[in-house]
């Protein structure tokens, strides 16, 4: 299987639409109209994964990239959300193609199999998938896979957790037990062990395929987090999408009993996106989906779109960690040193 990876520099139609409107924020379209100079706007389509807008994490990051493209590239966009089980992901992408959207993004790895079919069905449409993989894509393909080095960013927040923990006991909550989420876990474990080899880490996944509800079950996320805190963990990292708000609720409630505990966010700076619990969010692993979405749209708008694979890693700023709240300012120099060692190759970060 040939896989060439390019590292990017980061600077029933009515029924289908009704289904999209019924879940996770619904169907949204930007205002229409001409771009600067009266030229028609480029039409861009987006289909989110489960929950859609409002997950305060992965999907909201993609939406932020779309809004940036609207503001700076003068595009017109329509974004759709699948049903609660995700059964109409492919149908929604096909709908956008049939409606004349020349560039369509699927935000999540589960779109890859659908795009593998649609790219043949609609050879004149360009596609992009966040976290996806389709074998044997080339630069001449009409699909691009936007990947991330989640394990590198997770290594950094693992180091944060080990440096800040007073109990020597951490937790990790994965949304769904998949290879992708294993990258977050592997990096977090390695980063914590780099600082303190003897550190204890509890690992728990909310669901396993074909059940993907673990990305949208805050109640279960809260239940698992509370059990970890009760067992002695004082810092818990989640890679669980919309379920992560449950972690922060648990940190707040447990801390109210007298022992301060922390949660670590994912994808977006969750200190900013979940302000009700910001005093319990130590940091967040930043996976810059917004940057990937914006940059890929920009290549299409500028006529330089290429298919294949893109990797957003630590070297190009595709992943990282947040410093909002100032809770980790005292260890930032140590983290910067670790970051440079990863970039130089002195530290090799496992992905599984």
What per-residue confidence (pLDDT) applies to 13? 34
Which residues are within 8 A (CB) of 50 and not within 5 positions of it... i.e. 6 or more apart?
A: 24, 82, 84, 86, 108, 212, 213, 215, 216, 241, 242
Which residues are within 8 A (CB) of 290 and not within 5 positions of it... i.e. 6 or more apart?
A: 61, 62, 64, 65, 68
Widest CA span in the chain: 63
Residue 304 has pLDDT above 70, yes or no: yes
Q: What is the pLDDT of residues 102-137, one digit of tens each?
A: 999 999 999 999 999 999 999 999 999 999 999 999
What per-residue confidence (pLDDT) applies to 350? 98
What per-residue confidence (pLDDT) applies to 326? 98
Burial of 206 (0-12, 13-18, 19+ CB in 10 A): buried
What per-residue confidence (pLDDT) applies to 38? 53
Distance (Å, rounded) from C-alpha 286 to C-alpha 45? 24
What per-residue confidence (pLDDT) applies to 39? 63
Structure tokens at 195: 């600082």
pTM of the model: 0.82
Q: Give buried/exposed letters for 97-117 (b at 16+ CB in 10 A, else e).
A: beeebbbbbbbbbbbbebbbe
Residue 88 has pLDDT above 70, yes or no: yes
Q: What is the pLDDT of residues 285-300, one digit of tens each?
A: 999 999 999 999 999 9
Q: What is the pLDDT of residues 19-67, one digit of tens each?
A: 343 333 333 443 333 334 456 789 999 999 988 998 888 999 999 999 9
Domains delineated in the chain: 5-148+289-312 (3.40.50.2300), 150-286+322-344 (3.40.50.2300)
Residue with tokens 């409002």: 54
Helices (H) and strands (E) in the chain, counts: 11, 14
What per-residue confidence (pLDDT) applies to 51? 86
Using 50, 70 and 90 to split pLDDT, how confident is the model at 85? confident
Q: What is the pLDDT of residues 201-216, one digit of tens each?
A: 999 999 999 999 999 8
Residue 237 has pLDDT above 50, yes or no: yes
What is the mean predicted confidence (pLDDT) over 319-323? 97
Select the more confidently predicted residue: 38 or 333.
333
């Amino acid at each position: 299987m040939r896989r060439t990876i390019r590292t990017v520099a980061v600077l029933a139609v009515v029924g289908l639409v009704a289904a999209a409107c019924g879940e996770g924020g619904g169907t949204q379209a930007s205002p229409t109209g001409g771009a600067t100079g009266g030229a028609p706007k480029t039409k861009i389509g987006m289909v989110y994964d489960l929950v859609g807008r409002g997950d305060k994490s992965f999907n909201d990051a993609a939406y932020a990239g779309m809004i940036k493209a609207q503001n700076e590239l003068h595009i017109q966009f329509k974004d759709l959300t699948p049903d609660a089980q995700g059964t109409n992901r492919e149908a929604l992408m096909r709908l956008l193609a049939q409606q004349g959207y020349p560039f369509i993004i699927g935000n999540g790895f589960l779109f890859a199999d659908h795009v593998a079919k649609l790219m043949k069905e609609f050879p004149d449409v360009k596609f992009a998938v966040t976290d996806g993989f389709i074998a044997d894509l080339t630069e001449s393909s009409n699909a691009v896979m936007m990947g991330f080095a989640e394990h590198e960013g997770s290594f950094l927040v693992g180091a944060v957790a080990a440096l800040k923990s007073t109990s020597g006991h951490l937790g990790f909550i994965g949304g769904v037990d998949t290879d992708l989420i294993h990258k977050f876990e592997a990096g977090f474990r390695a980063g914590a062990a780099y600082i303190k080899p003897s550190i204890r880490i509890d690992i728990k996944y909310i669901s396993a395929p074909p059940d993907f509800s673990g990305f949208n079950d805050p109640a279960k996320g809260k239940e698992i987090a509370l059990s970890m805190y009760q067992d002695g963990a004082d810092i818990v990292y989640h890679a669980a999408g919309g379920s992560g708000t449950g972690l922060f609720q648990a940190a707040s409630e447990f801390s109210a009993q007298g022992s301060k505990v922390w949660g670590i966010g994912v994808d977006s700076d969750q200190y900013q996106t979940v302000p009700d619990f910001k005093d319990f969010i130590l940091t967040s692993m930043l996976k810059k989906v917004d940057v990937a979405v914006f940059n890929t749209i920009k290549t299409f708008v500028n006529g330089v779109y290429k298919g294949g694979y893109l990797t957003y890693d630590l070297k190009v700023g595709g992943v990282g960690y947040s410093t909002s709240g100032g809770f980790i300012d005292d260890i930032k120099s140590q983290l910067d040193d670790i970051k440079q060692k990863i970039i130089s190759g002195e530290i090799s970060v496992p992905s599984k």
